[in-house]
A and B are shown apart, each in its own frame.
Chain A
């Protein structure tokens, strides 16, 4: 081992810890056998927490000839992603136990997906971008179909896989065009080339790259897989899908565009504005007709990705910070939503439709309050957490001159408010239909995670923001055009 390699490995220590730990967990699972699911779950949560500690305390720098970047943005992203993944392991472990499909591969796949997401947020060139994306999406395809005896889950996995492969193709095509035109894979060299000789060819490749990434974050018009996959995949897996991978892909999106293609900002900003407007429309109006809660949350995530993309489109440091704040707060809200959804069932059957929530206040007053808080937060009611995310995004977009788009976002929020308010009305003002059983005793872990997320949405967010504001400011520093 050369000292160079040791230095590089030290910079990339969090990936190393996670990848090696994942392999060890796989061995533990393979040798202990079927009964190891619980043990591997506990160990993988510990591993993810340890990796986030390693990431937070590790050295900054560039490693492996620019393929790996450890900067404040990458570290912020990694800590958030690893913790969200650990929560997904906890939520999923209990649920799989109850569904009798608990196996040790679930936490192992999440750990390996977290390796890929870590690669994504700290990728410094096009190859590590692509390998990171493939690494995490391959694990997600398997997780979507994890409940293999469930027809809908298999359908979700297959659909996700086929459309994901298509988007990977687009991504690769774009990357190869960019490489062809600039002669380099590294974002900084691409940026240097683009400054020296701007051309339409680079933008052509960039558009393909944006299409591929927009698919991964399920932004309209590349969203068609989202409702079906979210409906069919196991609920804790969907909770995972909406949080960590989304944040990873958004940070990757922001990094690729602002590090490699800031010169072409005028061009890609148009594309992103279009994508974000389309996401507003699809997310807000598509959600109105939904009856299934998971489908509704799929449309909600499409609309919310629109706001996050608007933050990137601003192209400024404030815009990137807005995107990170928004995604963090959104992740907590949506994780809470899914945790509560996992904790609700009647006669052992999970609650799936919005109508099932009717009269919940009699059964489970605290949970009803939690859902109310989370709904109000996602729709952006001040002073709940969702409001602050949108406040940052709209502020950044308006100061970058996109106030028309910000106004369209506001209109979309108002439309989307309808379906959140309908949930609240059903829970508090409608009686449960006759003959419907009371809800079962809630599993401890998902109930507490849900309540904790709701408590964060309000009132803890006020305290949280005083810490989140400087942290995201440091993470976003040095990006964009000032």
Chain B
């Protein structure tokens, strides 16, 4: 009962927030609605018993991705009014496509309800209450899925190489830090003691 109420509340919030993400006029508001949608999806994961996924969704999507979106929206000089030009003229076609997709998804959902995976013995393995999500994932991530886990690591490495290849430029005008040289400096190379005559001081030539 309570679970049912929680499910309907959170899914309704998720759908409405998702709608507002695409319709909000102010892009910053869009990002905030997106965060709300993420939060309610995380709640749905908790209801499914996938608390680790829920935590990841909050930490990764809300904590990193949404904040990144906010930075991009606020810092980049993007004219959002111009981006929205033609919204009305594309709307009919987009509505037809979205309608077809929605109809298809509803049909598939009905199929599932009538006896897809949900009603079948081939359903995914569900661990019992004796084991937490984190433990269950930890047991398979580095054993059963070590190959895919390492491959996913290489995917991220390629993304990093790509970002460096496409954006890093050597600028001769920029002086770069050389930590080795900085820590290896000693008194002899950096400090010079000059005898200063009292009352006369030093001239600027002598300081060089």
Contact = CB atoms under 8 A, between A and B. Distances in A.
A binds B: yes
Interface centre among B122, B148, B150, B155 (most CB of A within 10 A): B148
Nearest to A136: B158
Main secondary structure of the interface of B (DSSP, over half): helix
Interface in B137-172: 144-148, 150-152, 154-155, 157-159, 161-162, 164-166, 170
Contacts of A119: 151
The 4 closest A-B pairs by CB, nearest first: A183-B122, A142-B162, A64-B147, A131-B151
25 contacts: A34-B170, A64-B146, A65-B144, A103-B165, A112-B157, A115-B154, A127-B148, A128-B151, A131-B148, A134-B155, A135-B151, A135-B158, A138-B158, A138-B162, A142-B162, A148-B166, A157-B166, A181-B112, A182-B122, A183-B120, A183-B122, A184-B122, A193-B122, A200-B111, A204-B104
Contacts of B150: 19
A199 B155 contact: no
Contacts of A67: 145, 147-148
B108 A201 contact: yes
A238 to B, nearest CB: 18
Interface of A: 5, 8, 12, 19, 22-23, 26, 34, 63-65, 67-68, 103, 105, 108-109, 112, 115-116, 119, 127-128, 131-132, 134-135, 138-139, 141-142, 145-146, 148, 157, 177, 179-184, 189, 193, 197, 199-201, 204
Nearest to B150: A19
Given A64-B146, A132-B151, A201 B111 contact: yes
Interface residues of B, number: 29
A108 B144 CA distance: 28
Contact of A183 (B123, B152, B155): B123
Contact of A63 (B108, B120, B147, B161): B147
B49 interface: no
A26 B161 contact: yes
Nearest to B147: A64
A442 to B, nearest CB: 28
B147 A183 contact: no
B117 A135 contact: no
Interface string B30-59: 000000000000000000000000000000
A12 B164 CA distance: 30
Contacts of B104: 204
B123 A138 contact: no
Contacts of B162: 109, 138-139, 141-142
Contacts of A139: 158, 162
Contacts of B164: 105
Contact of B166 (A23, A128, A142, A184): A142
